[in-house]
Structure 1
């Protein structure tokens, strides 16, 4: 069995919708019968990382209560170090959509991802995703309603494998790299259940998980 642990949902993103999207993607895996999927709360992340799961998926922004006057975050200094050590020692990490948003840019976690969310145009927009840079039409592209993430990225030290174009110009939508003995993958689509269930997004998410599981 391989174990995948997922932290999903926050103030802006439905945990229920993310579960539906993730489960459909996992169902596409060739070894899906061997996958044990466990959902955790942010309070349980430290404990579960100590059990060395094969993949840890984070689809939860750092801010717990972003609309309040005093905003709290869940990534403690201790957990920040633990996440990075988990990957260094051979774990695999997927930062999915909100999993790269509102974190401290100087955290070990964001340094490990080598990129982070900057902003997205208001609401849902028509976004074209491209498997090849600047190839805006053709079989290697697809268009859907989504939040187009614009990101800060250390492009020299990662492999970009997904691009996007939309109302606010072009951006990068996916990247991956090795980190220590482990692997890191970042994937910006999608914001809601409809987007996650888009066949192209679902297939790509399954590919990312497969890459992370391939030791």
Structure 2
């Protein structure tokens, strides 16, 4: 049995939409019947990681109340260290969409991701994504209405495998690498439920999960 714990949803991102998107991706795995998927709150992250899950999926930004004058964040220094140790010792992390947004750049978590969210143009736009296979031939592209994440990425120390292009320019949309004994993936699509359920997004997210879980 493969154990996955998922932290989903925040002020700007609906938990149930992400849940539907994640479950659609997992349903595409050939071993879907052997996946134990558990949803956790940020207060349960420490306990969940102590259970040594095969994969921790984070689709939650750091700020709990981004529009308030006194902003509260959930990733404490202790949790930050715990999360890094978990991956170094063989656990894996998938930072999905908001899971790379609003965190301190100097945190162990962001340094481990080797990339982070910078900004996105206002609202939803027509975004075209291109993944790695045969990119020079123009194949393996798809488009959807989405928030186009513009990111910083340490491209010298990770493998970029997804790109995006939209009205405001080009960006990176996915990358992966080994970290200690574990694996790390970052995946920026998608913001809406419709986008997360798009078969192309769903297939790529399933592929990320499968790469992480492959022994």
TM range (shorter): over 0.9
Structure 2 residue runs without a partner (length 5+): none
Question: Deviation at 1:141?
Answer: 0.3
1:27 aligns with 2:24: no
Distance in 1 (CA, whole Å) between partners of 2:31 and 2:142 is: 27
The residue that corresponds to 2:155 in the other structure is 155
The residue that corresponds to 1:72 in the other structure is 72
The residue that corresponds to 1:201 in the other structure is 201
SS in 1 for 2:28: coil
Structure 1 residue runs without a partner (length 5+): none
Question: Deviation at 1:122?
Answer: 0.3
The residue that corresponds to 2:16 in the other structure is 16
Question: Deviation at 1:131?
Answer: 1.1
The residue that corresponds to 1:4 in the other structure is 4
**Aligned residue runs from structure 1 range 94-109, under 5 A:** 94-109=94-109
Distance in 2 (CA, whole Å) between partners of 1:121 and 1:82 is: 33
Residues 54 and 91 of structure 2 are in contact (CA less than 8 Å); yes or no, is this contact kept in structure 1? yes
Per-residue CA deviations over 1:171-194 (Å, capped at 9, x if unaligned) read: 000000000000000000000100
1:181 aligns with 2:181: yes
Question: Deviation at 1:139?
Answer: 3.0
Task: State the superposition RMSD in angstroms.
Answer: 1.4
Report how many aligned residue pairs link the two structures.
Answer: 215
The residue that corresponds to 2:211 in the other structure is 211
Distance in 1 (CA, whole Å) between partners of 2:36 and 2:189 is: 23
Distance in 2 (CA, whole Å) between partners of 1:132 and 1:40 is: 32
Distance in 2 (CA, whole Å) between partners of 1:193 and 1:31 is: 24
SS in 2 for 1:4: strand
Per-residue CA deviations over 1:8-44 (Å, capped at 9, x if unaligned) read: 0000000000000000100000100000000000000
Residues 133 and 163 of structure 1 are in contact (CA less than 8 Å); yes or no, is this contact kept in structure 2? no
TM-score of the superposed pair, with normalisation by structure 2: 0.98
Residues 133 and 140 of structure 2 are in contact (CA less than 8 Å); yes or no, is this contact kept in structure 1? no
Residues 25 and 206 of structure 2 are in contact (CA less than 8 Å); yes or no, is this contact kept in structure 1? yes
The residue that corresponds to 2:42 in the other structure is 42
SS in 2 for 1:18: helix
Distance in 2 (CA, whole Å) between partners of 1:107 and 1:78 is: 11
Distance in 1 (CA, whole Å) between partners of 2:91 and 2:133 is: 29
